[in-house]
Chain A
Amino acid sequence: MRINRASRSSLLLAELMVSLLLFALTGAVCIRVLERSGEVSRQARVLTRGVQEASSAAELVRAADSEDQARALLLAAYPQARLEENVEIPMEDGTLRLEFRQDQRITVCYITWCDGQEPVYSLEIHRAFEEEGL
């Protein structure tokens, strides 16, 4: 009887140890998977936000009749915008950058959404502005 009880106890102990090991291993793997899904989810959020912000800025540029008017519209929509040679609009979760370049008669506006310093999404808008606006 004593041997039987000891054998049962050691079996239970072995079972508990196996359970604990299994739990720890799976827990470690699951934590890695959850971390990865959090990272992927964050990437998706940043990209979607970038698409939205770049599209909003693109529509403002497309609504303007000149580069100056585009800058004025951007400043009205984003009062925090810094209008220098390029336009930089800092936001809570990223920065929108707009760069205007001339390609013959066409003004090309490069719109980039940056997460920190890293560009996430870019759009190129071509506008044939009036001659005096060039």
Chain B
Amino acid sequence: MTRGKSGAPGFFTMGAPLLLTALLVLMFVTFSLLSLSSAREELRRGELLASRNQAYYTACNQAERVLDRLTHGEEPGTALEERGDTLRFRIPIDEEQSLSVTARRENGGYTVESWTVENN
């Protein structure tokens, strides 16, 4: 057993191994929990990106169908703002954004002039 000159127990005797282990354990637990929380956050962001992307393309699909109905002289199924040969309509993407489409009537069909995402 290691003893100091005074006869008192040395550093590597009582309590030190347990203290060292406790510090190592704390370090391991902290790093592993940080790693798990960072990975979960990364996945949450990925899922958010995926759902926003899905919502955007769903709105694009709806806009495409509205233009197709207009081209074939059917009811568009959405509110239109008409100014001469130009018309504009909005398709909601989510609570914060909507897709705004401006199209011009041309040769019996419609030419898209703008296709933008706007904040509500």
Interface residues of chain A, those whose CB is within 8 Å of chain B, are 5, 8-9, 11-12, 15-16, 18-20, 22-23, 26-27, 29-30, 33-34, 36-38, 40-41, 43-45, 47-48, 50-51, 54-55, 58, 62, 105-106, 121, 123-128
B21 touches which of A8, A23, A43 (Cβ 8 Å): A23
Interface size on B, residues (CB 8 A): 41
Decide if B21 touches A37 in the complex (CB within 8 Å): no
Total A-B Cβ pairs within 8 A? 112
Query: With an 8 A cutoff between CB atoms, is B60 at the interface?
Result: yes
Complex Cα distance, B60 from A9, in Å, reads 76
Residues of A within 8 A of B67 (CB): 128
Complex Cα distance, B68 from A55, in Å, reads 22
Decide if A40 touches B71 in the complex (CB within 8 Å): no
Residues of B within 8 A of A29 (CB): 29, 32
10 A-B interface contacts by CB (under 8 A): A19-B17, A20-B21, A23-B21, A38-B39, A44-B39, A47-B43, A47-B47, A50-B50, A123-B57, A125-B57
Complex Cα distance, B14 from A9, in Å, reads 10
Query: With an 8 A cutoff between CB atoms, is B105 at the interface?
Result: no
Residues of A within 8 A of B53 (CB): 51, 54-55, 123
Name A's interface SS: helix
Decide if B49 touches A48 in the complex (CB within 8 Å): yes
Q: Which 9 A-B pairs have the closest CB atoms?
A: A128-B68, A19-B21, A126-B61, A40-B39, A44-B43, A41-B39, A33-B32, A44-B42, A37-B36
Decide if A51 touches B46 in the complex (CB within 8 Å): yes
Decide if B35 touches A125 in the complex (CB within 8 Å): no
Complex Cα distance, B61 from A125, in Å, reads 6
Complex Cα distance, B38 from A44, in Å, reads 11
User: With A44-B39, A105-B72, A124-B57 given, is the CB distance from A19 to B18 under 8 Å?
Assistant: yes
Residues of A within 8 A of B64 (CB): 106, 126-128
